Structure 1
Amino acid sequence: MFKDFSIQSLIMGLLVAFVGFAGSFAVVLQGLHGVGATDAEAASGLMALSIAMGVCGLLLSVWKKMPISVAWSTPGGAFLASSGVPEGGFSVAVGAFLVCSLLIVVAGLFKPLSKAVANIPPALANAMLAGVLVGLCFAPVKAVAFNPVWGLAIVVAYFAAGAINRLAATPAALGAFVLVILFGVQIPEGAMAEVAARAVPHPVWVMPSFSLATVISIAVPLFIITMASQNITGIAVLKVNGYTPNPGPVFTITGLFSLLSAPFGGHGVNLAAITAAMCAGEDAHADPARRYWAAIVAGIAYVVLGLFAGGVTAFVALAPKILIEAVAGLALIGAFSGSLLGAFREAETREAAAVTFIVAASGVSFAGVSGAFWGLLAGGAVMAIARLAAGLRRG
């Protein structure tokens, strides 16, 4: 195994970990806060997720000898940010995380379930995701309105860096955010000492509790988002690059690591998409058989980054909340635009996709169940009616 190691894979693995962590940790924090986590619980969740995806990716890559990159669910974090605090608080959300993780394990073991998720019309899955993301994508505009100098510094950094290198866009926005804290925000006396103290890992155990409404409004949509936008996409990215792992065991293992992270506040880990392409591409190594080392290095780096999650969270908390929301919103623009394109590409499913998007984006819940779930049902009903009418016309 060690004979396959290369400096090229080392560099790519470190880049993957930096992009994967810095590019979306703000979304994860917003998501955990969105369902009621305290700063300490959110830091614990971020740490648990980073360690879980690092160890999971490392083990899968060593086992399969393939560059299998694992990530936290960024779209899932965006969904949580728009879900609202469930009745019963964060412990009920953690219960939903456990149910979602179990569903992923079952999907890996029971092929019909994963097949059923794969058969959800792509237009509806994309429309639901776009509806979930749109609220957070408004944050950069709100940040500019809140403080034009601070907000514009973050926005300009994102687009200026992105014009040079797409992968540099979110890290640049994050760098601008750090500079705003250091040179713009009035930092209370002793706050930096608190950041340093919080850098020591402090896992927080959250005793899960369960409610049917939260299972339906959080666990089920989170499962669908994770499977449709992450796990299935991750397998597709690997296949495009010539790797063909058996999806079932891979899904099951990511679900098991999600189960382990949930009681510490983690909403779930899954196959990566963007960073998977980085690990599996030629830039990781000219020889496809040696690229798995990039995913191994990335996994080790994720574990190290996760150990500093408490300090990262404490530092982020020094700034007005809207600023880190702006970084998260900018990081999700690409995913939002891609989802919209996928939702409205086909004319025959456009109306159903529009209904799904509108209901999911409304943020309105019914019977304690979030709009994302109802949006998928509403769009599915519209699509079923349209197909029935078309069948009657043909008959």
Structure 2
Amino acid sequence: MRTFTLPLPTLLSGFIAVLIGYASSAAIIWQAAQAAGASPGQIAGWMTALGIAMGVSSLALSLWYRAPVLTAWSTPGAALLVTGLQGLTLAEAVGVFIIANALIVLCGVTGLFARLMRVVPHSLAAAMLAGILLRFGLQAFGALDGELALCGSMLLTWLVLKAVAPRYAVIAAMLVGMAIALLRGDVVTDSVSFAPTLPQFIAPRFSLVHTFGVAVPLFLVTMASQNAPGVATMKAAGYNLPVSPLIVATGLLALLFSPFGVYSVCIAAITAAICQSPEAHPDSGKRWLAAAAAGGFYLIAGIFGGAVTGVMAALPVSWVQMLAGLALLSTLGGSLHQALNNPAERDAAIVAFLVTASGVTLLGIGSAFWGLVAGGICHAVFRLCPLTARERR
């Protein structure tokens, strides 16, 4: 029987991957759950279910393939839900999760993943994502106005660490912000509890308006900005695993856990790169141990989902806004670059970006969907006019 030792650098790689994942987006998920009217107890249940789902999937897939397959929640998807779930009930939110995850499973089963990504121009998907993320950047820097000491210190810390140790920039900013908030007495710890919180089952309610306005954009954002980069990162590291089974496995698990607040489980990209690097293990055939260790840390984080939620609720809103903005800054910049990089598609991408960022709601459907529609119409019209396309280049 084969045995594997777990070197300390491998264990630490798994821990850092999970820590970065939680530090960069737990605050965003907390905001999304709040937008749907979830209570602190229900949000804690969401965090528990998400941790368990990611832990089980990371462990199972890494053990099965003997490759570093790390899963994650969709941070861009959570950002979309912060606005998309405004005014929805928890039952309607769960309905959105079920539809989005069912579409992901359908993509994996039918092998439509690559073909679907070709139907929706990548520049438009990136522009829609940038429009969604814009408000987080604006909120972060807007918080400087009233909370200069707290938010300014977080920004300065992020800047210094981004220059010398980029991997730890968001974590350092988070810790500095927490320390300053504690020193000022701005942390209300009454709601922090380390007792395990069981997820609550919520019966779904489905709506055609919410399907098109929230579920379809969530599905597209998850596939385009999370699963696609995750698969690309894995292949770039030399792990050519079958894509469709991975999409089916993660999609089915998310679908199963949807009534408990799991809006997505997808292939990780940024955090997965930590487990797939030589720093995790010099032998590429044993780097799966780092992803498996991350799966174990995910399970621990899930068990203490109530504590994660309590910390989010205890800290000032400006801390949450600054942390979310800094965590999404590189994603926003990358999305804008991808959206505007092709001169022939730039005008259509700008339209998609502005319509999405405007927050307009038509026929009860949110701006993310209309951003794609408006950008898609422009893209189609410009392609039918080759002369205009040449002039735009």
Normalising by the smaller structure, the TM-score range is over 0.9
1:236 CA drift (Å)? 0.8
Alignment partner of 1:203: what SS?
A: coil
1:272 equivalenced with 2:273 (yes/no): no
Q: Give the stretch that moved more between structures: 380-389 or 149-158.
A: 149-158
Check whether the contact 1:45–1:267 (CA below 8 A) recurs between aligned residues. no
The RMSD of aligned alpha carbons is 1.9
1:392 CA drift (Å)? 10
Residue correspondences, number = 389
- Number of the residue aligned with 1:182: 182
- Number of the residue aligned with 2:68: 67
- Equivalent residue letter for 2:285: A
- Number of the residue aligned with 1:254: 250
Alignment partner of 2:205: what SS?
A: coil
1:32 CA drift (Å)? 2.1
- Number of the residue aligned with 2:105: 105
1:199 CA drift (Å)? 3.7
Superposition pairs for residues 136-151 of structure 1, below 5 Å?
136-151=136-151
Pairing partner for 2:345 from 344, 349, 355: 349
- Number of the residue aligned with 1:134: 134
Check whether the contact 1:14–1:298 (CA below 8 A) recurs between aligned residues. yes
1:357/1:333 CA distance change after superposition, 3 Å: same
- Number of the residue aligned with 2:314: 318
- Number of the residue aligned with 2:225: 229
Alpha-carbon distance in 2 for matches of 1:240, 1:393: 33
- Number of the residue aligned with 1:78: 79
1:148 CA drift (Å)? 1.5
Superposition pairs for residues 88-127 of structure 1, below 5 Å?
89-112=89-112, 114-127=114-127
1:182 CA drift (Å)? 1.5
1:236/1:185 CA distance change after superposition, 3 Å: same
Alpha-carbon distance in 2 for matches of 1:40, 1:177: 25
Q: Give the stretch that moved more between structures: 350-359 or 176-185.
A: 176-185
Superposition pairs for residues 1-395 of structure 1, below 5 Å?
1-3=2-4, 5-87=6-88, 89-112=89-112, 114-187=114-187, 191-192=189-190, 194-196=191-193, 199-390=195-386
1:7 CA drift (Å)? 3.2
Q: Residues 303-361 of structure 1: CA distance to partner in whole angstroms, max 9, x if unpaired?
A: 10122221221222123323212111110000000000000011100000000000111
1:367/1:284 CA distance change after superposition, 3 Å: same
1:106 CA drift (Å)? 0.8
1:277/1:366 CA distance change after superposition, 3 Å: same
1:4 CA drift (Å)? 6.1
- Equivalent residue letter for 2:323: V
Alpha-carbon distance in 2 for matches of 1:185, 1:218: 38
Alpha-carbon distance in 1 for matches of 2:358, 2:3: 52
Check whether the contact 2:46–2:260 (CA below 8 A) recurs between aligned residues. yes
Alignment partner of 2:47: what SS?
A: helix
Check whether the contact 2:29–2:78 (CA below 8 A) recurs between aligned residues. yes
- Equivalent residue letter for 2:165: N
Alpha-carbon distance in 2 for matches of 1:117, 1:36: 33
1:246/1:4 CA distance change after superposition, 3 Å: farther
Query: Where does structure 1 differ by over 6 angstroms across 4 or more consecutive aligned residues?
Result: 391-394
1:54 CA drift (Å)? 1.2
Q: TM-score, normalised by structure 2?
A: 0.94
Alignment partner of 2:365: what SS?
A: coil
Alignment partner of 2:4: what SS?
A: helix
Q: TM-score, normalised by structure 1?
A: 0.94
Task: Using the aligned pairs only, state the percent identity.
Answer: 36
Alpha-carbon distance in 1 for matches of 2:160, 2:9: 27
Check whether the contact 2:181–2:316 (CA below 8 A) recurs between aligned residues. no
- Equivalent residue letter for 1:139: Q
1:176 CA drift (Å)? 2.2
Alpha-carbon distance in 2 for matches of 1:67, 1:200: 28
1:114 CA drift (Å)? 4.7
Check whether the contact 1:68–1:295 (CA below 8 A) recurs between aligned residues. yes
Q: Residues 117-144 of structure 1: CA distance to partner in whole angstroms, max 9, x if unpaired?
A: 3442111011000000000111221221
Alignment partner of 1:3: what SS?
A: coil
Alignment partner of 2:106: what SS?
A: helix
Alpha-carbon distance in 1 for matches of 2:200, 2:345: 45
1:81 CA drift (Å)? 1.3
Alpha-carbon distance in 2 for matches of 1:187, 1:232: 39
1:245 CA drift (Å)? 0.8
Check whether the contact 1:142–1:322 (CA below 8 A) recurs between aligned residues. no
Check whether the contact 1:177–1:323 (CA below 8 A) recurs between aligned residues. yes
Check whether the contact 1:170–1:331 (CA below 8 A) recurs between aligned residues. yes
Alpha-carbon distance in 2 for matches of 1:335, 1:113: 22
1:393/1:234 CA distance change after superposition, 3 Å: closer
Alignment partner of 1:2: what SS?
A: coil
Alpha-carbon distance in 2 for matches of 1:95, 1:185: 40
Alpha-carbon distance in 1 for matches of 2:119, 2:228: 11
- Equivalent residue letter for 2:339: A
Alpha-carbon distance in 1 for matches of 2:236, 2:187: 48
